[in-house]
């Protein structure tokens, strides 16, 4: 009989989404029987879920994948809360040819683009988390640790209140929270797209805090953020810090919401309406280039916003030309981004520069090992040659030994160095450093970076917060996470000039 592994765990203590361990067993065993599987149950009753080694049942399952055709979970978030761990697990399942099945359907484990995005997100997510942890332990954000609110309006679903000591903190706003749950219901239970949801809530008379109708982009932004789980970052002097407030919806509901957002998304927008660099490139006049479709030439292009708004603002664009063909500009600006993303070592250097962390540098270690091996080969060859020549010249053995002694000494030194370096490399490889782990993930995913779609590009460009400025001879391209130059030092990328 075909066999499936049921995997159960609770993700938060006192989970309120109705997926208790018993519920999960019931749903999963029914699913297994419906699919014609004999099954074996794997259950981690603890709540942590962050580290694989704290989940013995999952570890046991991963060690026995060859016995199963499928792994059944009530939703993907059961596998892992951390995207890095989830990615590793999906990779293991894919390698073992095991299907991942949930009551909602089967998860495609093979999509390379999704793996790439996931790996890149993981890398920077891990970097961000490391940085956060450092800050918290350095005690730079005591107020945040004490759950106080240090500025800005309350996020949707929350309101500001004063503590008895006169500080400000956040609490759930019942009315706002009800609004959030209603919107989540429209997406998850009714299957509306964000666009349809925005239209619906506007028609119902709901407005944003500013009193304006909801735009679908803005609404989508709110629905994708972990704010809904009470994980709300604020910008301290040293960077963003995340604090935990009471969640508006349970974690499993949030996972359902993210799945529904992906599922309900309308088909990819017509290419003529997708401009990944819109608003991210400066015009020579000081304005910004925005994407637009030129009907007269039937071509995608980027045009200076000062030119577009001249009639309203009275400010004119002084650059000539004030517009560029989109495909040319995008090709030019994408290149340095692609070069950084496609090179795991440079990507890791970027992440390290981002966190300001010293990390193991496997690339440098590898280079030094290769160098020692090469020199060792040379010395060995030289020894053989010298020995042969000395014999031809009729030298005596003691004379030959003396001539060879220097080369022998060099040979021994190189051998010793090589052993030490190889040991260091083994150590570095065995470290469970999250950055090194992310490095390996990206290495695997970089292969998929060959031909990203414009949508993939747009997502990466937004993730990296890419900005471009015209300079002599081309554009300078920068990201919030430093792109790196070829020699691995973080810095600005210079790219070439556009054909006029």
Which parts of this chain interact with Zn ion (CB under 5 A)? 283, 285, 287, 304, 306, 317, 319
H-helix segments, 35-146: 56-63, 83-96, 112-137, 142-145
Give the other-Cβ count within 10 Å of 114's Cβ. 18
Of 105 and 314, the one with the shorter C-beta distance to Zn ion is 314
Provide the token pair at 98: 């095991």
Of 311 and 393, the one with the shorter C-beta distance to Zn ion is 311
Distance of CA 334 to the CA centre of its chain: 18
Of 42 and 277, the one with the shorter C-beta distance to Zn ion is 277
Of 282 and 464, the one with the shorter C-beta distance to Zn ion is 282
* Contacts of range 131-136, beta carbons closer than 8 Å, 24 or more positions apart: 131/239, 131/354, 131/355, 131/356, 131/357, 132/239, 132/240, 132/241, 132/242, 134/355, 134/357, 135/236, 135/238, 135/239, 135/241, 136/241
End-to-end alpha carbon distance in the chain = 67
Q: How far apart are CA 304 and CA 457, in angstroms?
A: 21
CB of 470 to Zn ion, least distance (A): 10
Of 125 and 470, the one with the shorter C-beta distance to Zn ion is 470
CB of 242 to Zn ion, least distance (A): 38
CB of 315 to Zn ion, least distance (A): 9
CB of 291 to Zn ion, least distance (A): 14
Of 79 and 283, the one with the shorter C-beta distance to Zn ion is 283
CB of 337 to Zn ion, least distance (A): 23
CB of 292 to Zn ion, least distance (A): 13
Checking phi first, is residue 433 left (phi over 0); if not, alpha (psi -120 to 50) or beta? beta
CB of 335 to Zn ion, least distance (A): 23
Secondary structure letter of residue 232 according to DSSP: E
Of 287 and 452, the one with the shorter C-beta distance to Zn ion is 287
Of 135 and 306, the one with the shorter C-beta distance to Zn ion is 306
Backbone dihedral angles phi then psi of residue 469, each to the nearest 5 degrees:
-130, 135
CB of 467 to Zn ion, least distance (A): 16
H-helix segments, 237-361: 251-264, 305-313, 326-341, 344-355
Q: Is the dihedral of CA 245, 248, 250, 252 positive or negative?
A: negative
Q: How far apart are CA 181 and CA 464, in angstroms?
A: 31
């Amino acid at each position: 009989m075909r066999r499936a592994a049921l995997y159960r765990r609770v993700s938060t203590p006192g989970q309120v989404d109705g997926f208790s361990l018993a519920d999960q067993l019931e749903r999963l065993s029914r699913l297994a029987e419906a699919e014609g599987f004999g099954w074996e149950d794997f259950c981690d009753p603890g709540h942590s879920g962050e580290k694989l080694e704290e989940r013995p049942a999952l570890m046991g399952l991963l060690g026995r994948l060859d016995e199963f055709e499928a792994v059944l979970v009530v939703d993907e978030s059961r596998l892992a809360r951390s995207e890095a761990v989830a990615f590793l697990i999906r990779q293991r399942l894919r390698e073992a040819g095991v299907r991942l099945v949930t009551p909602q359907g089967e998860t495609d484990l093979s999509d390379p683009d999704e793996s790439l995005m996931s790996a890149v997100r993981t890398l920077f997510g891990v970097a961000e988390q490391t940085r956060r942890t450092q800050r918290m332990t350095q005690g730079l954000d005591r107020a945040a640790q004490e759950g106080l609110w240090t500025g800005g309006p309350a996020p949707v679903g929350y309101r500001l209140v004063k503590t008895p000591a006169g500080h400000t903190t956040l609490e759930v706003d019942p009315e706002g929270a009800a609004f959030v749950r209603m919107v989540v219901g429209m997406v998850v239970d009714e299957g509306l797209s964000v666009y349809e949801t925005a239209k619906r809530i506007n028609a119902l008379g709901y407005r944003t805090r500013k009193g304006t109708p909801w735009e679908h982009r803005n609404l989508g932004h709110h629905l994708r953020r972990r704010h809904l789980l009470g994980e709300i970052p604020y910008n301290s002097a040293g960077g963003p810090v995340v604090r935990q407030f009471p969640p508006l919806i349970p974690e499993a509901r949030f996972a359902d919401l993210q799945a529904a957002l992906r599922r309900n998304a309308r088909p990819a927008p017509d290419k003529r309406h997708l401009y990944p660099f819109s608003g991210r490139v400066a015009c020579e006049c000081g304005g910004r280039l925005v994407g637009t479709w030129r009907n007269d030439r039937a071509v995608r292009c980027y045009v200076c916003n000062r030119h577009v708004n001249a009639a309203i603002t009275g400010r004119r664009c002084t650059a000539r030309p004030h517009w560029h063909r989109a495909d040319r500009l995008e090709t030019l600006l994408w290149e340095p981004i692609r070069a950084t993303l496609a090179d795991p070592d440079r990507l890791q250097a970027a992440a390290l520069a981002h966190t300001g962390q010293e990390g193991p540098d496997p690339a440098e270690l590898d280079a030094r090992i290769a160098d020692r091996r090469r020199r060792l080969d040379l010395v060995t060859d030289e020894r053989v040659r010298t020995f042969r020549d000395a014999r031809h010249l009729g030298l005596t053995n003691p004379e030959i030994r003396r001539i060879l002694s220097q080369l022998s000494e060099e040979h021994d030194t190189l051998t010793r160095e090589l052993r030490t370096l190889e040991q260091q490399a083994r150590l570095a490889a065995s470290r469970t450093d999250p950055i090194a782990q992310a490095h390996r993930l990206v290495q695997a995913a970089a292969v998929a970076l060959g031909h990203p779609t414009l949508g993939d590009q747009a997502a990466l460009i937004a993730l990296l917060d890419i900005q471009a400025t015209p300079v002599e001879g081309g554009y300078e391209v920068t990201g919030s996470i430093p792109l790196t130059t070829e020699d691995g030092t973080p810095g600005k990328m210079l790219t070439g000039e556009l054909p006029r």
